[in-house]
Amino acid sequence: MTDKTPGKSHRPAPVLTHPDDVPLLTALTALADPVRIQLVRTLAEHPDWSLSCSNFDVPVGRAAKSHHFSVLRAAGLVEQRDDGPKRLNRLRREEFDARFPGLLDLTLRDDEVS
């Protein structure tokens, strides 16, 4: 029987990976994609749980965006929770920094030359 409780989502809760369980290569691979870097940078600029997946302006479709969030979750970078029909996001900065000191700071640094 399906749970019809108000505020509950019809989809399964996202699987979360703690950064302590993430190999370095997984973290580096997650941060090697420009779309994922853009997602992480956008999250870093906003308070926890303030952005749903639809709030991100990236040059990919919904399915690809979902895949990118899945990669970020598997790397321990992003935590997601459902709030009705919305999936809210949080950058797991403190936990990720404890596992990979300085890596997120390098990712968030805007040192690209125009």
43-87 per-position pLDDT tens digit: 999 999 999 999 999 999 999 999 999 999 999 999 999 998 999
Q: Is the pLDDT of residue 102 over 50?
A: yes
Q: Across the chain, which distance is largest between two alpha carbons, in Å?
A: 56
* Distance of alpha carbon 60 from alpha carbon 57, whole angstroms: 9
Average pLDDT over residues 9-34: 89
Predicted structure pTM score? 0.84
Question: Shortest CA distance to 80 belongs to which of 39, 25, 31?
Answer: 39
β strands within the chain, DSSP E: 51-52, 78-83, 86-91
* Distance of alpha carbon 100 from alpha carbon 13, whole angstroms: 26
